[in-house]
């Protein structure tokens, strides 16, 4: 079994790069079908969603734009629930179809925070696409329109997800070994 060690923790492979790419291609087809002709603006939530956003956008087949926001809430292996906005949105999204791109929805605090921020600018609609969802950790009544994989409540690294800043560059997703 493929394993990696980051700092004091060991992780074993959970979702392979092939599985990730296959699922992203499926989501891209769905998004293209749903949003064709709406010229959506994708908003990638940094830092975690950078790889998901890049791979998804390459597969989406329509006119679209991309922008970025940066928030931070995690410290070590725990969500702090205390969200800080580090980079805000520079585009005018009034009347636009927005697709928020997240690496993972855990408690849902980050997405709720971002939805509230985005709604202040009166977009026509906001869709949410998250590569991963931890349904058992979700504390809010949120509809995630596009979900790559539902995962258990384990701490994950790789493919954008980090442990104290490390591991984002791994092409597979790994889960912590207890």
Binding residues vs ligand IMP (CB under 6 A): 48, 73-74, 79, 102-110, 155-156, 161-162
Question: Minimum distance from CB of 110 to Mg ion (Å)?
Answer: 6
The yes-or-no answer on residue 172 being catalytic is no
Distance between alpha carbon 109 and the CA centroid of its chain, in Å? 13
Q: Which is nearer to Mg ion, 92 or 102 (CB)?
A: 102
Binding residues vs Mg ion (CB under 5 A)? 48, 103
Distance between CA atoms of 110 and 90, rounded to whole angstroms? 19
Which one from 8, 18, 103, 106 is the annotated catalytic residue? 106
Report, in Å, the least distance between residue 177 CB and ligand IMP.
14
CB atoms within 10 A of CB 137: 15
Cβ atoms 32, 58 nearer than 8 A:
no
Q: Using the minimum distance from each CB to ligand IMP, give the nearer residue, 55 or 103.
A: 103
Q: What is the per-residue DSSP string for 97-119?
A: EEEEEEEEESSSHHHHHHHHHHH
> Catalytic positions, please?
106
């Amino acid at each position: 079994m493929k394993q990696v060690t980051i700092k004091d923790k060991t992780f074993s492979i959970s979702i392979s790069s092939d599985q990730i790419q296959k699922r992203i291609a499926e989501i891209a087809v769905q998004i293209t079908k749903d949003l064709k002709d709406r010229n959506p603006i994708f908003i990638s939530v940094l830092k975690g969603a950078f790889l998901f956003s890049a791979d998804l956008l390459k597969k989406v087949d329509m006119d679209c734009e991309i922008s970025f926001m940066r928030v931070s809430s995690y410290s070590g292996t725990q969500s702090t629930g205390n969200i800080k906005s580090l980079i805000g949105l520079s585009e005018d999204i009034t009347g636009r179809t927005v697709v928020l791109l997240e690496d993972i929805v855990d408690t849902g605090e980050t997405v709720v925070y971002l939805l509230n921020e985005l709604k202040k600018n009166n977009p026509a609609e906001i869709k949410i696409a998250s590569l991963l969802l931890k349904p058992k950790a979700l504390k809010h009544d949120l509809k995630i329109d596009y979900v790559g994989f539902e995962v258990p409540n384990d701490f994950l690294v790789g493919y954008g997800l980090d442990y104290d800043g490390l591991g984002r560059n791994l092409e597979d997703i790994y889960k912590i070994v207890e």
